[in-house]
Amino acid sequence: MNYYLVGINHKTAPVDVREKLAISERALPDALHRLVQHRGVDEGLILSTCNRVEFLVYDANGACDLDAFLCQYFHAQPSQLKPYLYRYRGAEAIRHLFRVAAGLDSMVIGESQILGQVKQAYAAARLAGAIHTRLDRLLNRTFMVAKRIRTETSIGASSVSIASTAVELAGKIFGSLIGKQILIVGSGEMAESAARHLLTHGAGSIMVCNRTFETAVRLAATFGGQAISFDRLYECCDLADIVISSTGSPSTIFRREHGELFIRRRKNRPMFFFDIAVPRDVDPELGKLDGIFLYDIDDLQQTVTAHLAERGEEAVRAEGIIEKEVERLRSSLQAFDVTPVIISLRDHFEVIRQNEIERLRKKLGKLTPDQEFALKSLTRGIVNKIMHGHVSTLKSAASSNDAAAVVNLVSRLFNLQNERAA
């Protein structure tokens, strides 16, 4: 099980570090191509969200150095990344992926959006040709486990999401959300979800601003709102009480000078900025202005924590399911690992059997059908008896931690690696 995962998330790295390692949707195909070209990597997947950036690979020979890849790709020194990285191999990598997809490793325990993000990462990796047999088996099992947890536990009940947290914070700032104006800058599922929650709690009309005006028009239509071209962003922004920003901009689009302008125009009426972009859309300096309340992804942690206790028991049940599924997959994968060797071993003895029959035919001359049948039955029986002990050993090894060593030993004893390569 040569799976290897390296990553950072909201628990190990602050947002200013995560945004430096974030990989945009546009850059993802090139990043995947470079990942699978890296020494030792046979298959790869990259998951990049606002709360985590993770690199999962299958490394057949255990020679992959993902730390080196990260340093090369992000032009960073090892000392800059090492304090924030976590690393998992084998069953630990599988367990971590299952927990991520099930929402157990999320800022909001049990949130469902992460499963969709893992599926998108899987689709992107397949499209890029970075996923083959090993990661395909792992990811499909991951989706099954996540579905099972959703079905058999209430981990996703009593909705606690980034969107609902934004509504709670906005409600504390304004007292009432009735009639408050909303501006969505950019697009994305989380931004739309936050806007829907705000509307449900009484917020007024919605404006949508996007660099692609057609996208703004389409999204605004879903809310019965107004589309704004990106070149009018700063002109119209102060009309909003609540700004939800979720662009893919590599640099901030709202800075302190913009905040000062907005506050003057609003005559000191407060504004709420909800920055859910990574890299961040809003300069932290803007949040220091009187009358402007700024929350980024990390700021939500304190609010979210208050809602987690009620999900504790369900999370324990989910962890139990994951442990069983990790063991099931481990056994399945190890059996999968020994199957090619069993087939090769059988082929090896079959070649010997056929060669010996041909040699005997030359000595014995023409055989009657009964003699031919007896000869084949005898030699097959001998091969099966010889195979039985080896197959039993390999199948037993498949359920232990010695599988790789036994497979390697049998392959070397019978020269199976060279025969398969021939």
185: which strand partners? Answer: 209, 245
Contact 87, 132 (CB under 8 A): no
Catalytic residue among 50, 64, 209, 237: 50
Residue of 61, 29, 62, 60 lying closest to 46 (CA atoms):
29
* Spatial distance between the Cα atoms of 99 and 322, rounded to a whole number of angstroms: 7
* Spatial distance between the Cα atoms of 348 and 148, rounded to a whole number of angstroms: 42
Is 209 an annotated catalytic residue? no
Residue of 207, 173, 212, 175 lying closest to 191 (CA atoms):
207
Active site residues: 50
